[in-house]
């Protein structure tokens, strides 16, 4: 199974600390050796990097861990392949355009019968269940709303579509347009909220510690989501199974069992 990572913040924030832990799970502390990827949002732009090599040994991953890219929204993924060969086109996160925005998607799990669902405007480039599900999701949204709906209506619709996909199997997933982060939990997903008063955090997968009080202001808010906790001295909250979580600017907007 793959592992997921996402960050939502109210000010541009460096994700290198959390990504360092995730990268170690791609061949050092974990078995997710079939590629990795990360998407950073900058205003309406989306910078996405993919590598089909294990993240723990990847030169590109070392570059990301050293380069201080700051973002309000990040989605990352390390892959353990079960459907689709190890290749660049099968590496998450996948990205497409809808309503003039770049959408990113990453998934952990298997979806039985997803490829029987017909697609229209959006077509997969690779062969994974995940990319087919992403294309189906965007097709549904495009058909329902020729123009972007309100945030509340969009959140309800995405929650309904996520619930539909969870009926097909394991659908732990992250979806974002750079503004909102939509997270689906079938089996495992958790999050940590970082806000004032900030403290220290130590990674589980690597000997690294950060004192966030020295790196932040009192108004900063950040939520980190991951498949399993990344730090040993913070309180990680499990997302209940069969739940869609909506996060915006480092705050939970809603959590809806569907």
pLDDT of 182 higher than 90: yes
Q: What is the pLDDT of residues 191-247, one digit of tens each?
A: 999 999 998 999 999 899 998 988 889 999 999 999 999 999 999 999 999 999 999
pLDDT of 43: 85
Please state the φ and ψ torsions of residue 173, each to the nearest 5 degrees.
-150, 155
Residue 257 reports pLDDT greater than 70: no
Q: What is the pLDDT of residue 38?
A: 97
Q: Are 225 and 173 in contact (CB under 8 A)?
A: no
The pLDDT of residue 256 is 59
Distance, CA of 15 to CA of 51 (rounded, Å): 18
Give the pLDDT score at 85.
82
Length of the chain (residues): 258
> pLDDT-based confidence at 127, cuts 50/70/90?
very high
- Calpha distance 121→251 (Å, rounded): 33
Residue 146 has pLDDT above 90, yes or no: yes
Domain tally, the chain:
1
pLDDT higher than threshold 90 for residue 83: no
239 φψ region: left (φ > 0), alpha (ψ -120 to 50), beta (else): beta
81 close to 33: Cβ distance less than 8 angstroms: no
- Checking DSSP bridges between strand 200-202 and strand 101-108, what pairing results, if any? unpaired
Residue 34's pLDDT band (cuts 50, 70, 90): confident
Angle at 231 between CA 230 and CA 234, to 5 degrees: 125
Residue 219: CATH number of its domain: 3.60.20.10
Catalytic site positions: 2
Domain range enclosing 79:
3-257
CB of 241 within 8 A of CB of 217?
no
For residue 202, the Cα-to-chain-centroid distance in whole angstroms is: 21
Name the band, by pLDDT with cuts 50, 70 and 90, for residue 255. low
Name the CA radius of gyration of the chain, rounded.
17
**Which position has the token pair 């069992």?**
257
Instruction: Write down the pLDDT at residue 44.
Output: 85
In this prediction, residue 151 has a pLDDT band, given cuts at 50, 70 and 90, of very high
């Amino acid at each position: 199974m793959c592992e997921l990572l996402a960050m939502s913040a109210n000010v541009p924030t460096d994700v290198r600390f959390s990504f360092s832990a995730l990268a170690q799970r791609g061949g050092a502390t974990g078995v997710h050796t079939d590629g990795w990827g990360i998407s950073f949002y900058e205003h309406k732009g989306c910078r996405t990097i993919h590598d089909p090599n294990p993240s723990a040994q990847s030169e590109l991953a070392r570059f990301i861990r050293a380069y201080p890219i700051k973002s309000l929204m990040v989605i990352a993924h390390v892959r353990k392949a079960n459907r689709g060969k190890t290749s660049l086109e099968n590496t998450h996160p996948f990205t497409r355009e809808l309503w003039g925005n770049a959408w990113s998607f990453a998934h952990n799990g298997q979806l039985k019968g997803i490829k029987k669902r017909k697609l229209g405007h959006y077509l997969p480039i690779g062969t994974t269940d995940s990319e087919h599900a992403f294309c189906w999701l965007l097709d549904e949204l495009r058909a329902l709303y020729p123009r972007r709906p309100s945030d509340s209506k969009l959140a309800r619709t995405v929650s309904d579509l996520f619930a539909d996909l969870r009926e097909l199997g394991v659908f732990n997933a992250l979806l974002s347009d750079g503004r909102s982060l939509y997270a689906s939990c079938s089996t495992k997903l958790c999050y940590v909220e970082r806000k004032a008063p900030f403290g220290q955090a130590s990674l589980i997968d690597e000997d690294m510690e950060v004192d966030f009080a020295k790196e932040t202001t009192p108004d900063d808010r950040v939520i980190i989501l991951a498949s399993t906790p990344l730090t040993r001295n913070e309180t990680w909250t499990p997302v209940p199974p069969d739940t869609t979580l909506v996060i915006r600017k480092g705050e939970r907007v809603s959590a809806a069992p569907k």
